Structure 1
Amino acid sequence: MAGFGTAVVLLFWAMAALSAWVTREHLAKHAQLELATLRSGQPLWQWRLRGPGDLVAHRVFGNADIARGPNGLRVTSRDGSTFDLGLPVAGPVDLAHWPLLHLQLQSDAEGTLGLIYQTSEFSTACTANAVGRIPPHGNELVIDLRSLSWHSDSGKPCRPPDVVTYLLRLRPQLPAHAVLQIGNVDLQAAQPAALPVSIAADMADIRLPSALAVAQAGLTAASAQYGGRSAPLVRLPAGISAETMLSLRDLVKRHWPGALVLPFGQAFAPAREEALPGWLDWGVCAAYLIGLVWIALRQTREVTRPWLEIAAIAAGPLWLIAGLRWGTQLSIPGVTAFVAALVFAAQSDWRRRPVWWRWLGRSWADWLWPLVPLAVTVALTLVDGHGLVHLEPRHMLTYLGWALLQQWAMLAFVMGRLRLTALPQPVIILITAALFGLLHTPNGSLMQLCFMAELWWAWRFLKSPCLVPIAVAHAICALLVESGLTGHMLRSLGVSARFFL
């Protein structure tokens, strides 16, 4: 029992350490990319308009038709009225330090361009009408946002935009049936950011404490000293968790969107990191698929290589999730490997089931004992949660299916193969729970919660191998966490690169 408890504590700590390390590396890589962008004179915010999918809601707001054109987005006015093109705002946009709106466009008739911004969801939308002339057969247009006259819908004057996190729209007006082609849109600084050639490990303009309230006060005080800087160097403190790092990053970006958030003790050289070639992912995926087929063809009625089958099903999901290939855009090779792993496990269990288990419970105990982690979830929600957020019934049913899939893979397949090895039962439970936690990398708090819950569920599955009761308990606990705990102790339920959003 002492050894088991020590192993649990060490794995619990290791998951938090892994989460912090992955997050530091992500922030360092992102800061390096921003540094390279600024040093090369490229904009931090730009929109490449090629088709409807590059606009907010994938459509135009108003009487106009849009289509993909050879030189960018092709927009045709129907009746000569104004229409809006929404630029996606994925994060805070600094329109104070980058006030020059640069557009590449051309039209077959003369028109005008207006702009709309809305700082947040609950703030007032502000408009500047006819701020620029769209010349016929023109090529570029530059608008200084500082010199415009902004007003609300009621006619009240607005301040020039500062930090915008919600809405930014272009409002062209062209004669009826005129065609506008608009390509790249970006923001340019009034003057280049003053950056050192290299950044030493201890260099910073602003050093943040770990407490969010103190950091907020420090950023406000630093505005007087560095208010004119478009890209100040902000250094994070040492020894903080992944969740604190990201909370401090978000705090800085809401205050200074162009600030460079640097992890503690990291130096940055001028060299730009080259991205890995796209064919490498497909090559790894192809090798993995070939390996799965080879293992499947060599399978017999008896499981003779349990460790090989465990590695085969675990590699695909870990490559997608722990490899940070699931973000704003899914990695197609990563998803292919993930699905292939599940297909491999399904055909393996269909051909032979080496360890007996059943889907449904046969007694009330089979259904009640898996709900023990629910008491811990309720306690955490009461201590550090918030009011429950409404979840759609379709979402809850979908998550129940997802929980059933996860528990089938972990308990029926992985732990079923582990039981064919010479490992003692406590070690089998530890390995199963640790792997389940790693499948939620790099979300440290979520990894720890899943690890502790799976310790209990794996033990219960050994005592009573009923899969659906455990999946139901898993879904109830996860949905309660999503509804009442995320945003506090737990940043989100996001895994892989989605955790950093």
Structure 2
Amino acid sequence: MLRTAGFVLAAALLLLGLRALAGWMLESHLRHEAEGEQHTLQAGEPLWRWRLLQPRDLVAGRPFGNATVQADRMGLKLSSRDGQAFELGLPVLQPIDLAHWPLLRLSMRSSTPGALSLVVQPHAQEPSCMAETGAIPVGDATSLVLDLRKLDWRHGDGSPCALPATVAYLFRLRPRLPAGQTLELREAALVADPPVRLPGPTPTVDLSAGREIDLLEQLTVAPSIPAVPLVWLPREGSVESWLALRDRLRGLWPAALIVPAGAVPVAAAHEAAPAWLGWLICAVYLLLLLYSARRKTHPTWDVVAVAAGPLWLIAGLQWGLHASPPAVTAFVGALAWAGWREMQRRPAEWHWAGGKTADWLMPFALLPLALILAAVFGHGFAAPEWRHAFLYVAWAGLQQWLMLAVVLRRLERWPAGTALPILGAAALFALLHTPNAALMQLCFLAELWWAWCFLRSRRLLPIALAHAGCALLVESSLTGGVLRSLEVSARFFL
């Protein structure tokens, strides 16, 4: 009874620790965002800027229409194939404030006279608006500044529409060039007119006392709310509720400095680490793996070595809109090293399939619990696309192989019974879903059960299938509600 009570207490403390870790990471992220935005505004630089150097910098990584794109020394080089208009989507990662930043500055030039239009759509459920801007600069002329307030905005049916104050869904350039002609595009930016005023240390909107969020709609019409308000979030709340509130606040004031209660952001550049440093860390890590590949090492080293690469990518927030190449390389290197070490341990002490009927049924015991969660807290079931489901089974198999066949079996060699290995494998599995707090806790609880099932049966395929089934059910019924999403690493904050 004492051992069981200790196990339950340790699991409860780890659950609380996972949520505390996610909360701390979110608070740090919000401060980091606010400090960077304040530095950008103090320096007089555009708050919304798109540097277009690679095709991936566009929405979908390509033009919409009959045109080609390739990277060029000047940025992007686009060629029209048939002389018809094509569209270039600028990623809208957070709402755009066109009411206070109405000047669009484009660094572009064309090989021949052409026309340019703009397309904006505030929300997915609202109609889009389009306006013609005039001719595209030709030759050495590379700068074009457009006052969006002075353009004639029209709906698709030709009826007039007002320039949206906020755009949260779609912002596109729509050039038209003769067939075979090219357009060079390097940067797009929005400029404030007049320059905006930065807030002081006192919050413009203080939600720290738990004020009703519905009051925010009333504040939007108040003339005292500036373009860049300082907003304090409530002191109490979950990671998911804070992010949902942040998104709602940005819908009201896209340039708001949103920070935890009591925080006063100080302008800081927060420049990214140089690329060579990431590659140096990756090279040292891979060399250590290579050095230990054929040597007999302590199980603790094996666990640390195989976990370091994935944790750097996920918990190190190296996977945002684009993943860090050095971190991805380290992740792949860790998997390759683990595969090599497993090949050296043949015959394996575990199997993919086989076993008794109970070995297959026990891992699926969590599926009814997932169905109950979906029924009580879900928003209806949306069947996943079959290719996604098929790939997720393979992804679940890879995760469980790493957690159970590689990590758990090495933790078993610690002289502490089975409780510590199960807790360790479950905790590591949860950390590989950082900083998604609710998902981390669900993964931790699920892996406690699956780790016990593995120790009992030594069969991996049933656990991988149960993992995939539960995850797909949660994804299709709980995301957007109890779960913000299934995203991990820096992607969770987007």
Shorter-chain TM band = over 0.9
Q: Is the aligned partner of 1:408 residue 2:411?
A: no
Cα distance, 1:271 vs. partner? Answer: 4.0
Q: Is the aligned partner of 1:141 residue 2:140?
A: no
Aligned to 1:291: 288
1:279 to 270, 276, 282: 276
Answer whether contact 1:361 1:469 (CA < 8 A) is retained. no
Aligned to 2:253: 256
Q: Deviations over 1:321-361 (max 9, x none)?
A: 11111111111111111111111111111111597222214
Q: How does 1:221-236 map to 2 (within 5 A)?
A: 221-226=218-223, 229-236=226-233
Which is further off, 269-278 or 334-343? 269-278
Which is further off, 218-227 or 77-86? 77-86
Q: Deviations over 1:276-307 (max 9, x none)?
A: 222222222111111112222222xxxx6111
- CA distance, structure 2, for counterparts of residue 86 and residue 45 of structure 1: 14
Aligned to 1:207: 206
Answer whether contact 2:210 2:235 (CA < 8 A) is retained. no
Judged with a 3 Å threshold, the aligned counterparts in structure 2 of structure 1 residues 141 and 9 are, in CA distance, closer, same or farther, namely same
Cα distance, 1:71 vs. partner? Answer: 2.8
Amino acid in structure 2 at the alignment position of 1:220:
E
For 1:187, what is the secondary structure of its paired residue? strand
Judged with a 3 Å threshold, the aligned counterparts in structure 2 of structure 1 residues 77 and 459 are, in CA distance, closer, same or farther, namely closer
Amino acid in structure 1 at the alignment position of 2:389:
M
For 1:224, what is the secondary structure of its paired residue? coil
Aligned to 1:469: 462
Answer whether contact 2:95 2:168 (CA < 8 A) is retained. yes
- Structure 2: tracts of 5 or more residues without a match: none
Q: Is the aligned partner of 1:380 residue 2:373?
A: yes
- CA distance, structure 2, for counterparts of residue 286 and residue 78 of structure 1: 44
Judged with a 3 Å threshold, the aligned counterparts in structure 2 of structure 1 residues 80 and 439 are, in CA distance, closer, same or farther, namely closer
For 1:486, what is the secondary structure of its paired residue? coil
Aligned to 2:21: 18
Judged with a 3 Å threshold, the aligned counterparts in structure 2 of structure 1 residues 293 and 240 are, in CA distance, closer, same or farther, namely same
Judged with a 3 Å threshold, the aligned counterparts in structure 2 of structure 1 residues 416 and 354 are, in CA distance, closer, same or farther, namely farther
Aligned to 1:187: 190
- Aligned-residue RMSD, C-alpha: 2.3
State the TM-score, normalizing by the size of structure 2: 0.93
Aligned to 1:132: 134
Q: Deviations over 1:207-249 (max 9, x none)?
A: 236979x31x222122123576221111111132211121111
2:42 to 39, 42, 46: 39
Q: How does 1:98-109 map to 2 (within 5 A)?
A: 98-109=101-112
Answer whether contact 1:20 1:240 (CA < 8 A) is retained. no
Q: Deviations over 1:456-497 (max 9, x none)?
A: 111122222111111111111111001111111111111111
Judged with a 3 Å threshold, the aligned counterparts in structure 2 of structure 1 residues 390 and 142 are, in CA distance, closer, same or farther, namely same
Aligned to 1:247: 244
- Give the % identical residues: 49
Q: Deviations over 1:412-454 (max 9, x none)?
A: 1211111112112122211121111111111111111111111
- CA distance, structure 1, for counterparts of residue 448 and residue 235 of structure 2: 31
Q: Deviations over 1:362-403 (max 9, x none)?
A: 222111111111122111111110111221212111111111
Q: Deviations over 1:175-206 (max 9, x none)?
A: 6665443332111011222115xx64xx3101
Q: Is the aligned partner of 1:6 residue 2:2?
A: no
Judged with a 3 Å threshold, the aligned counterparts in structure 2 of structure 1 residues 27 and 178 are, in CA distance, closer, same or farther, namely same
Cα distance, 1:57 vs. partner? Answer: 3.7
Cα distance, 1:114 vs. partner? Answer: 2.3
Q: How does 1:315-326 map to 2 (within 5 A)?
A: 315-326=308-319
Which is further off, 171-180 or 87-96? 171-180
- CA distance, structure 1, for counterparts of residue 87 and residue 233 of structure 2: 40
- CA distance, structure 2, for counterparts of residue 74 and residue 431 of structure 1: 51
Amino acid in structure 1 at the alignment position of 2:117:
G
Amino acid in structure 2 at the alignment position of 1:206:
V
Q: Deviations over 1:46-105 (max 9, x none)?
A: 222345443334444456554444433334556665443332323311111111111223
- CA distance, structure 2, for counterparts of residue 166 and residue 116 of structure 1: 11
1:451 to 418, 426, 444: 444
Aligned to 2:320: 327
Q: How does 1:140-179 map to 2 (within 5 A)?
A: 140-174=143-177, 179=182
- CA distance, structure 2, for counterparts of residue 294 and residue 70 of structure 1: 41
1:339 to 310, 314, 332: 332
Aligned to 1:92: 95
Answer whether contact 2:123 2:168 (CA < 8 A) is retained. yes
Judged with a 3 Å threshold, the aligned counterparts in structure 2 of structure 1 residues 328 and 210 are, in CA distance, closer, same or farther, namely farther
Answer whether contact 1:132 1:143 (CA < 8 A) is retained. no
Aligned to 2:352: 359
- CA distance, structure 1, for counterparts of residue 189 and residue 381 of structure 2: 40
- CA distance, structure 2, for counterparts of residue 205 and residue 11 of structure 1: 37
Aligned to 1:417: 410
For 1:91, what is the secondary structure of its paired residue? coil
Which is further off, 364-373 or 52-61? 52-61
Judged with a 3 Å threshold, the aligned counterparts in structure 2 of structure 1 residues 111 and 311 are, in CA distance, closer, same or farther, namely closer
Answer whether contact 1:210 1:240 (CA < 8 A) is retained. no
Q: Deviations over 1:131-182 (max 9, x none)?
A: 3344544332221111222111222211112211222222334566654433
Judged with a 3 Å threshold, the aligned counterparts in structure 2 of structure 1 residues 476 and 144 are, in CA distance, closer, same or farther, namely same
Aligned to 1:349: 342
- CA distance, structure 2, for counterparts of residue 271 and residue 90 of structure 1: 21
- Structure 1: tracts of 5 or more residues without a match: none
